[in-house]
Amino acid sequence: MADNRVTGQEGRRLVSTAIRRALSAGDLVPGQRLVEQELSESLHATRNCVREALQDLAAEGLVELVPRRGARVRVVSVEEAIQITECRAALEGLCARRAAEHAPAQQREGLREIGTRMREAVAGGDLNTYSALNRELHARIAEMSGQKVAGGLLDRLKGQMVRYQFRLALRPGRPTKSLPQHLAIIEAVVTGDGHAAEAAARAHLDSVIEELRATPAAEPAGSAALTVGA
Amino acid sequence: MADNRVTGQEGRRLVSTAIRRALSAGDLVPGQRLVEQELSESLHATRNCVREALQDLAAEGLVELVPRRGARVRVVSVEEAIQITECRAALEGLCARRAAEHAPAQQREGLREIGTRMREAVAGGDLNTYSALNRELHARIAEMSGQKVAGGLLDRLKGQMVRYQFRLALRPGRPTKSLPQHLAIIEAVVTGDGHAAEAAARAHLDSVIEELRATPAAEPAGSAALTVGA
DNA sequence: ATCGACGAAATTGTTGACAATAGCTTCGAT
DNA sequence: ATCGAAGCTATTGTCAACAATTTCGTCGAT
C-alpha cells in the first residue's frame, strides 16, 4: 500500500484520538506547539482533518487555539486542576448519591468485586492495575447513576487532568490513603445510602485536592518528540 | 456599501452569536434544520464561516450535527433538562458555598441590592426584570466564588436550557415560589454561612426540577421562519 | 392505488491552491 | 556590540470549485 492517507470525518476522529492518546501517554507535553503540517504528515492525514481535529480538541479544553498562531497543548495550572477537582467532587457526589438511590441492587453489588480487586492490587503493589480499577470504579458509578449529563461533564474534566492524575497515582503512600476512601464509596453505594455515598465521594476528591495543593508548580513548556503512532 | 459579506474568524463569531441569539429569542425552534447556504445568505457570511460556527455551536451542545445530513437545533428532552438542572444544583451549590466562604464581605453585601430589586420586580409583576435579575444573581455568585471552571460549565449548561428557562419563568405563581429561595441564598452568602448557602442553592434548583417534572412533553420539531437579523 | 426503482435537485464534504500573517534572520547604522 | 528595520520563511486562514451523498419527486409495474 502506497499513500493511504486517512481523510474525512473518519480521519478527523482518528487524528483527534491519536493526539488524545499521545497526550495521556506523555508524548505531548503542555505548551508544546501542534503544527498542522507536521501532524498531517506523521499521521498521514489531510491538513483539513488535522485542523478539524484540533478544533474538536480545543472545544474539549485539551488544546489552546490562538488565531494565526496555531495550536498548543493547553497548560493546566495547579490552581485550575484544583478547581476541576472541586467540580468533580460536586458532580461525582451527585452520581454516587443517585447510584446508591436508584441503581438496581444487582448492579450495585457488582461494585464489591472492584473493591476486592483494588485491595489485591494495592496489597500486591500493582499501581497500574489499581489506577485502571480506579478509573473503572468512577466510570461505573457514573454509569449506574443514569446521569448522562454529569457523566459527560466528568469525562471532559478528567480529560483535562490526565497529566496530574498520572503524577498523583505514582505518589508514594497515595494508594494507602485512597483505598479506604474508595471502599467507603463502594460500601455506601451498595448499602443504598445516598447521603453517605455523596459524602464519601466528596471526601475522596477533597483528599485529591489536598494532594494537589502539595504539588510543585507545573513544568515549563518544553518541546518533545512527537512520535504519534498512526 | 454593496456586498459586504462578513468573513474569517470574526464572521465565525458573528454567525454563532447570531444563531445563539435567534435560538434564545425563539426564532429557531428545536429540531429545525440549519442549512448552510440559507444561513450564509441571510447573514451575509461565507459558507465556511457558517460551517465553523455550526461546529462551535455543536461543541456547546446547542446544535446537533449529523454527518452528511446537516445541522439541526438540538432537541433537549424534559428528562435531559432535569439532569442538566441536577448538575446545576451540584455546581451552583459549590459556587454558593465558596462565595460565602471566600468572597470579600463588601462584594457579598452587594447581593442584598439584587434581592431588594427582585422583591420590587415581583411586587410590581415585572417578570422580565425579575428574570434578568435572576440571571444576574446566579452569575454574580459564580463570579464571586472564583470558581472559573464551574462557571464555565454552568454557562454551557444554561445555554442548553434557554427554551425551558423561558417557559418556566412565565409560569403563574413561579416567582412567588422562587423569590424566597433566592433571598435565602443571598442571606446565607452574605452571612458567610457556606453550608447554608450550598443548601439554599440546591433547594432552589430542586424546586426548579419539580417544576420541570410537571412539564408536558416537548413540542414536536416544526419549521419556523428564520429571520436571523444580521 | 401501492410499492419500488430510477433520476434530478439540493446539500454537505473535500480538495488544492492561494492569501495573509507571524516569527526569525540578516544586515546596516550608531 | 546593540538595536532596529527589512526581507524571508514557516505557518495558518480563506476561498471557490468540485465530488459525494442524501432527499425528494416521478414514473412504471403489479
Average pLDDT over residues A73-102: 97
Across the strands, what pairs with A70?
A66
- Give B194's Cβ-side CA count (13 Å radius): 10
Mutate which: B149, B154, B202, B205, vs A, most A CBs within 10 A: B149
Average pLDDT over residues A49-66: 97
What's the Å distance between residue B60 CA and nucleotide C11 C1'?
A: 24
Q: How far is A126 from chain B (nearest CA, A)?
A: 33
Q: State how far the alpha carbon of B177 is from the alpha carbons of A88, B169, B172, B210, in Å.
A: 30, 11, 10, 12
Q: How far is A142 from chain B (nearest CA, A)?
A: 13
What's the Å distance between residue A70 CA and nucleotide C26 C1'?
A: 26
Locus of grid cell 417557559: B167
Q: What is the pLDDT tens value at each position of chain B, 230 positions in all?
A: 445 678 888 889 999 999 999 999 999 999 999 999 999 999 999 999 999 999 999 999 999 999 999 999 999 999 999 999 999 999 999 999 999 999 999 999 999 999 999 999 999 999 999 999 999 999 999 999 999 999 999 999 999 999 998 889 888 899 999 999 999 999 999 999 999 999 999 999 999 999 999 987 654 444 343 333 33
Residue B179 is which amino acid? L
Q: Provide, as residue numbers in chain A, all residues whose Cβ is less than 8 Å from the Cβ of B77.
A: none
Residue B13 is which amino acid? R
Instruction: Using pLDDT thresholds of 50, 70 and 90, give the confidence band for residue A169.
Output: confident
Residue A67 is which amino acid? P
Q: Is the pLDDT of residue A227 over 60?
A: no
- Inspect the interface and report whether the beta carbons of A9 and B157 lie closer than 8 Å: no
Q: How far apart are CA B105 and CA B94, in angstroms?
A: 18
- Inspect the interface and report whether the beta carbons of A86 and B148 lie closer than 8 Å: no
- Inspect the interface and report whether the beta carbons of B87 and A94 lie closer than 8 Å: yes
The SS3 of residue B34 is: strand
Backbone angles phi, psi at B228, to 5 degrees: -90, 80
- Interface list for chain A against chain B, based on CB atoms closer than 8 Å: 9, 52, 55-56, 59-60, 67, 80, 83-84, 86-87, 89-91, 93-94, 98, 147-150, 153, 157
Q: Provide, as residue numbers in chain A, all residues whose Cβ is less than 8 Å from the Cβ of B84.
A: 149
Sorted by where each starts, the structural domains of chain A and their CATH numbers stand as 8-73 (1.10.10.10), 78-213 (1.20.120.530)
Residue A222 is which amino acid? G
Backbone angles phi, psi at A172, to 5 degrees: -65, 135
Q: In what order do the strands lie in the sheet with A63-66?
A: A33-34, A70-73, A63-66
Higher confidence at residue B152 or residue A169? Answer: B152
Locus of grid cell 434544520: B33
pTM of the predicted structure, to 2 decimals = 0.92
Q: How far apart are CA B165 and CA B169, in angstroms?
A: 6
Mean pLDDT rounded to a whole number for chain B: 91
Q: Provide, as residue numbers in chain B, all residues whose Cβ is less than 8 Å from the Cβ of A148.
A: 80, 83
Give DSSP secondary structure letters for chain A. Answer: -----B-HHHHHHHHHHHHHHHHHHTSS-TT-EE-HHHHHHHTTB-HHHHHHHHHHHHHTTSEEEETTTEEEEPP--HHHHHHHHHHHHHHHHHHHHHHHHHS-HHHHHHHHHHHHHHHHHHHTT-HHHHHHHHHHHHHHHHHHHT-HHHHHHHHHHHHHTHHHHHHHHTSTTHHHHHHHHHHHHHHHHHHT-HHHHHHHHHHHHHHHHHHHHT-PPPPP----------
Of the candidates A225, A208, A229, the residue with the CA atom closest to the CA atom of residue A78? A208
| Chain A with chain B: Cβ pairs closer than 8 A | 62
Residue B62 is which amino acid? L
Share of chain A above pLDDT 70, in %: 92
- State pLDDT tens for residues B118-168: 999 999 999 999 999 999 999 999 999 999 999 999 999 999 999 998 889
Q: Which nucleotide is nearest to B50 (CA to C1')?
A: C12
- Inspect the interface and report whether the beta carbons of B87 and A147 lie closer than 8 Å: yes
- Whether the CB-CB separation of B12 and B49 falls below 8 Å is answered with yes
